[in-house]
């Protein structure tokens, strides 16, 4: 109603449930013959475990999106040129992915924060490897750091941290519409196809941190993710 666009449709999808991801993809493919753009935007910074037995941030931020993208990939290919935009974060700088322990929460005092950073590194590497695998198909992919945005991402922050974090967010962080701009640029800007797989900020394409440029780690993450989601 707010957009005035009668073509906007809501379809339920819970990325913390691989069963829900599969149900959504099946319904979407049955009802919608066209798919030109997929923006993987959901994010969570809370701790916990999903019904599938994986850490909540890693599944919602990466594994659920990975499965969704794979289930919709054939439709994206048939509707090419098409794009996948994955909302990542500069927090990938602190990511430490270990292929042998994917999906398990890290240990330590700041395990939830580490889990979040790991999932954001996975986002950057997912885009990199997807672009490699889709060369020649006219399906392109981009990882995006939207900036520090004042959203409900921090609602699960520890109580002791909220008095420090929330005023900072209101004073210094972007609002959601501002944060969405670089995501929309990657989704709609002409001529980005040669930059498929790259990492973008509001200043344009940028080199990710070294772990985000590790092609061997990207392949290991892809293969491990396929195994974890049952592909």
Active site residues: 116
Q: What are phi and psi of 117, to 5 degrees?
A: -60, -40
- Nearest alpha-carbon partner for 133 in 66, 42, 63: 66
Cα–Cα dist 136/124, whole Å? 21
- Nearest alpha-carbon partner for 18 in 103, 85, 99, 82: 103
- Strands 199-201 and 139-144 turn out to be parallel
| 8 A C-beta contact, residue 85 and residue 149 | no
Find the distance separating the first CA and the last CA of the chain, reported in whole Å: 38
- Nearest alpha-carbon partner for 118 in 97, 135, 138, 137: 97
3-class SS at 77? helix
Cα–Cα dist 113/124, whole Å? 17
Contacts of 129 (CB under 8 A, 6+ apart): 197, 215, 218, 219, 221, 222
Name the DSSP letter for residue 227. H
């Amino acid at each position: 109603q707010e957009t005035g666009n009668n073509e906007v449709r809501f379809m339920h999808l819970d990325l913390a449930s691989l069963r829900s991801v599969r149900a959504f993809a099946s319904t979407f493919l049955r009802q919608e013959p066209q798919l030109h753009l997929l923006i993987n935007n959901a994010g969570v910074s809370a701790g916990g475990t999903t019904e599938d037995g994986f850490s909540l941030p890693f599944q919602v931020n990466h594994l659920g999106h990975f499965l969704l993208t794979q289930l919709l990939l054939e439709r994206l290919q048939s509707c090419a040129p098409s794009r996948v935009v994955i909302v990542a974060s500069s927090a990938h700088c602190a990511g430490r992915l270990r292929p042998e322990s994917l999906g398990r929460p890290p240990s330590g005092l700041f395990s939830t924060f580490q889990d979040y950073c790991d999932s954001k590194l996975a986002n950057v590497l997912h885009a990199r490897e997807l672009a490699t695998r889709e060369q020649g198909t006219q399906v392109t992919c981009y990882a995006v750091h939207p900036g520090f945005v004042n959203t409900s991402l921090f609602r699960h922050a520890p109580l002791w941290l909220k008095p420090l974090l929330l005023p900072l967010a209101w004073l210094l962080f972007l609002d959601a519409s501002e944060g969405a701009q670089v995501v929309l640029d990657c989704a709609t800007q002409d001529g980005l196809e040669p930059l498929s797989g790259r990492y973008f900020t509001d200043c344009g394409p940028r080199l990710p941190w070294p772990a985000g440029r590790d092609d061997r780690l990207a392949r290991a993450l892809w293969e491990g993710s396929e195994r974890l989601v049952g592909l």
